[in-house]
Structures are given as structure tokens and as C-alpha cells.
Amino acid sequence: MRRPHVMPGNLWPGRMALSSRKLSALDLYSSELMNFDEGGTFNPIEPIVIGGAGMELGSASEVLGGVTTNPKYGSTDPRIELVDQWPVHAARTITKTISWANCDGFGAQPVYFNESGAVYQTGLAASSGLNIGMIVDGHRLHDGATLVTATFSYRYNGSKPTAIPGGNESVGIARYDRTTDASTALHSAGTAGGIVYSSVFARRDVSTVEDFFAGGNVINLVFTPNQNNVIAKASYYYGFSLQTSIETEALGVKLEFSVPDQRHE
């Protein structure tokens, strides 16, 4: 509520005796002003409405109670517009599951899909395993996010081999240069967390055929990138692969990202 004048401006005389009443009112009104040079805490009974030329907040500000926009849409209606930044938030984890439905068999190894969308082979080709790969749709990757883990889920659905196959198993994640198509590994070479990393590929560090076969149950190979894992779609595209050498059912890949902001995805 706007305060009235102690005395309308056109009624102030050139000379007058100061009344304690007017001075008291001036003192009261001025005590209710918002101190914009030194700051302060204010609890208005009614909202302070600022129209006209509006306000500009020139330094970092905090909204403790939240902000609500007026529900309308149009070129001149209330809105929050972003000039060159994204709304940011504390790093949060998002998880996306990628189906191998966007893959196909490498070379002469056709693949098929079962009713759950898993990839497998049938007939004679099944014994040669899988060699599948796919590019991740750019629409599904959050630019600027950090890929924390990629969990490849698959199982060996045939007979247990007598020894760890020579070809073993290999999952791959790589980023590819959009201009040259050159690949870059997301983990340095070496063994970490029970995973052997080499170039863009990884496999479980197992020494017995029993551990390798895992009873035909679902295997979750967790690829944990330690380099080049901040998504940069302006420069790169990203792909996944899975290669095995015995009968295999590929189930999917779960991607876990640490996301710092709120972009399109």
C-alpha cells in the first residue's frame, strides 16, 4: 500500500512551523521504506508490485519462496526467457536405458529380436555369438552431462563352453569425432573394478569358465569411464557395441549420467 503525502506537494508553504504531527508521520513513513543501499529484511503485508520499467537484479540473488509466472502464453505475456545460460541445479543423476533395437549384426551375422526386445541369433549362426553396435541418437544424450557408468546387460543362453572362448567378450563405448569419425576411448587402458579396459573396449576380468558363463544368468558389466566422458555433442557422436563368441542374448544398456543443468533432453 502506497503511503500518502504528509502534505501534498503544492500545499507546502515557503515558510512554516514544523508540526510534531507531520514530523512524526515523516518519521513513520521513512522507517517503512526499503533500504536499497544497505539492504535489510522486510515482510510486507501486501505484495510489492513493480510494473513500469521493471527491475534489474545486477548481482547474484536468491529466491527463498519460489517464483510463479502468470499463466498465459504469447509474445508479450509473462515468461522467463533464457538469454545464453541454462537453468542449473545441483548435480543430479539421470538414468537412461538403451535398447539394442537400434542395432544390427556385424558383417554376416544377422540378429533377431525376441518378444522382450532382446537381441539374439538363431540356428547355426547362434554359436558364433553376437557382434552388434549402434550409434546413440543425439536426441537422447544430455549435452554437458557426465557419463558415470554404462551397464551392459546380457547373458549366455546356450551351453556352457568347456573353456573361456578365445574371443572372450567385449563391450565398447566410444565417442567419435563428427568430422573425422576417429574414435576415442572413455577409459584408459588397464584393469579397474574387475573390468579390463583396452582401447574403446572392456571385458570382465574372469579366470574360470564358470565365472565367465555365470550360470547362464544375466551379466551386468559396468563400464565406468574415467576420461572423455563429458558429453559434447557439438564435436562428437557416441556409439556402443557388444561382441561375444558364444550364443548370447543382449538385453540392453543402462546409462547413468550426472547432469548439471536443465537442457532440452
| Ranges within 125-144 binding other proteins (CB under 8 A) | 131-140
Give 113 or 258: the residue with its C-beta nearer to other proteins. 113
Which one of 10, 68, 162, 208 is in contact with other proteins (CB under 8 A)? 68
Which of 16, 27, 92, 127 forms a contact with other proteins (CB under 8 A)? 27
Assess 3 for contact with other proteins (CB under 8 A).
no
Quick one: 164 or 174, whose CB is closer to other proteins? Answer: 174
CA distance 251 to 151: 11
Contact between 30 and other proteins (CB under 8 A)? yes
Which one of 10, 41, 116, 162 is in contact with other proteins (CB under 8 A)? 41
Instruction: Please report how close the Cβ of residue 152 comes to other proteins at its closest, in angstroms.
Output: 15
For the residues of 199-264, what is the DSSP string, one character each? Answer: TTEEEE---SHHHHHGGG--EEEEE---SS-B--TTTEEEEEEEEESS--EEEEEEEEEEEEE---
**Which H or E run contains 34?**
none
Q: Positive or negative CA dihedral for 85, 86, 89, 94?
A: negative
By rule CB under 8 A, what count of residues binds other proteins? 90
Letters for 166-185 (x = contact with other proteins by CB under 8 A, - = none) are: ------------x--x----
Residue 21 is a binding residue for other proteins (CB under 8 A): no
**By CB under 8 A, is residue 264 in contact with other proteins?**
yes
By the 8 A CB rule, do 263 and 142 touch? yes
The strand pair at 169-177 and 201-204 is best described as antiparallel
CA distance 74 to 67: 19
**Contact set for other proteins, span 182-221 (CB under 8 A):** none
Cell, residue 38: 544497505
Query: Residue 71 or 193: which CB sits closer to other proteins?
Result: 71
